[in-house]
Structure 1
Amino acid sequence: MAPAENKTTANEGVETGLGDAVDMDTFNQILEMDDPGDHEFSSSLVFGFFEQVEETFESMDTALAKKDLDQLSQLGHFLKGSSATLGLVKVRDGCEKIQRYGKNENVDGSAEPDSELCLKRIREALITVKTDYQDVERTLKRYYEKSDKDMGDDD
């Protein structure tokens, strides 16, 4: 094997497994806060985020049914920040769209006076965000399961 392919640190392994859904500079900073030999800190953040996302999606669905653009914008902003903290770029970007549409804006920040069009765009963006979230959730769960098994070999 070429030296570049033979790296064995946990951070290098996750880099190749998460693709473009995760900003590795951000995620590696979180992994660096873990104690050597375990991922207790980072996994608690990630799995806490998973719970937070499910609750936020439920609130978004309710706000969408009520056509509450302001609430949708707030929820989009909240989830955008949480996902950005972990480096989950696709989820972050989708939530930014929801935030903007909830403010009656286009993605470029220009005004969009048609609230029904904004609601339609939020519905579409929410479908994409949920799909992107499910993909990254699956990938991160696999990463932590593999990491736990690899670290458990020392017991």
Structure 2
Amino acid sequence: MPSRHEEERSEEGSVGDGLPDLGDSIDALTFEQILEMDDDEDEREFSKSIVFGFFEQAEETFVKMDKALEDRDLAELSSLGHFLKGSSATLGLTKVKESCEKIQHYGQQKDEAGTTDEPDEDLCLSRIKAILVVVKEEYAEVEKVLKKFYATPAAS
């Protein structure tokens, strides 16, 4: 039985025919929408600039998150989580987006889903510390996949 991504890629008119398996950390349809904006499928200058700009942005944000965690600044952590959530959602980086959303919620002193108040600051900070480890691993995984994608010339 084909995976969800294989089914999505087999749709008529999809640019996904030449895409490698992006794994379950990247939503193929969302990422393909970025690729569709490229003028040249061999160079992929537009999408590459967006993706590599995101890498730079994410790494700077992780440094800021580490500092905010050290400073016990929940509001800043929430804001940074919200910021990175949006950037990662644009590229279809689903796992990174979901983890950043959790950071945003914990920073607002809410539960994981953002529905219930959590007055214990220490608990929120410890949850953010744990999810920050996870999101950095998820980021490293998508960075590796995308750098490999852009290092490989598109098949003609």
Does TM-score exceed 0.5, indicating one fold?
Answer: yes
Which of 142, 145, 148 is 2:148 aligned to?
142
RMSD of aligned residue pairs (Cα, Å): 1.7
Distance 1:21 1:85 in 2: 13
1:133 aligned partner: 139
- State how 1:33-44 maps to structure 2 within 5 Å: 33-37=37-41, 38-44=43-49
Task: Report if aligned partners of 1:30, 1:42 keep a CA contact under 8 Å in 2.
Answer: yes
- Number of paired residues? 143
- Secondary structure of the 2:22 match is helix
1:52 aligned partner: 57
The structural deviation recorded for 1:120 is: 0.3
> Which aligned runs of 4 or more in structure 1 are off by greater than 2 angstroms?
9-14
2:127 aligned partner: 121
Larger relative helix fraction: 1
Task: Report if aligned partners of 2:15, 2:32 keep a CA contact under 8 Å in 1.
Answer: no
Task: Report if aligned partners of 2:77, 2:107 keep a CA contact under 8 Å in 1.
Answer: yes
- State how 1:4-153 maps to structure 2 within 5 Å: 11-14=16-19, 16-37=20-41, 38-108=43-113, 109-147=115-153, 150=155
Deviation by residue 1:4-39 (Cα, 9 ceiling, x = unmatched) = 9xx8x862232x421110111110000000013320
The structural deviation recorded for 1:87 is: 0.3
TM-score, structure 2 as length reference: 0.86
Task: Report if aligned partners of 2:15, 2:36 keep a CA contact under 8 Å in 1.
Answer: no
Task: Report if aligned partners of 1:10, 1:147 keep a CA contact under 8 Å in 2.
Answer: no
The structural deviation recorded for 1:73 is: 0.1
Distance 1:24 1:112 in 2: 35
Larger gyration radius, structure 1 or structure 2: 1
